[in-house]
Structure 1
Amino acid sequence: MTNISIREAKNKLTELARRVEAGETITVTRNGKPVMEFVPAKKKGGIDWEGGKAYKKERGITNFFGEIPSDFDEPLPEDFLITPLPPFRGE
């Protein structure tokens, strides 16, 4: 990890960006005290949907809790909506 003054960082921003892109972490200081760090950006993650499908396929999984039925967003029947819920027993 490298320490650099804020004034020097201002004058060498492009060079510092290249060093950070290469994986280096640089601490910027003001009056000898750290005020910020330049760190490499994290690769954005997320859900690998294709990987999940391949995993299920190779293991023969045809139905999975996380799948949403095709009629999920269809309106509910009216009798379902007006039927009272059973009493809550707190169990």
Structure 2
Amino acid sequence: MKTVSIAEAQDRFDELAQDVENGETVTVTRDGKPVFDIVPHMKKPGIDWEAAEAYLRSKGIVRNDGFVSDDFDEPLPEDFLLRPLP
């Protein structure tokens, strides 16, 4: 890990950028105290939805987004509602 002053970082920005591209972290200081780090860019963590969709398609699973049955909002039969839980 390199440590440089703000003035030095301004003068050598291209060189520091190349170091960061190669995986190195650069700490920039002011009056000898760390102010910030220049770090390699990382992909944001989270779910890759496109990869998930591709996986489902590869397994033959088809999602049906937006389908709602015609009787979705119809009341349930009374005997179903009064039936005891198992």
C-alpha RMSD of the superposition: 2.7
Instruction: Give the TM-score, by structure 1 length.
Output: 0.59
**Partner of 1:89 in structure 2?**
none
Aligned residues, how many?
70
The code of the aligned residue for 1:59 comes to K
Deviation at 1:48, TM superposition (A): 3.8
Q: TM-score, normalised by structure 2?
A: 0.62
Q: Give the corresponding residue for 2:66.
A: 69
Query: Take 2:10 and 2:58, find their aligned partners in 1: how far apart are those partners?
Result: 53
The runs of 5 or more residues in structure 2 that have no matched partner are 74-86
1:55 aligns with 2:52: no
Q: How many percent of aligned residue pairs carry the same amino acid?
A: 43
Moved over 3 A (4+): none
Shift of 1:37: 0.6
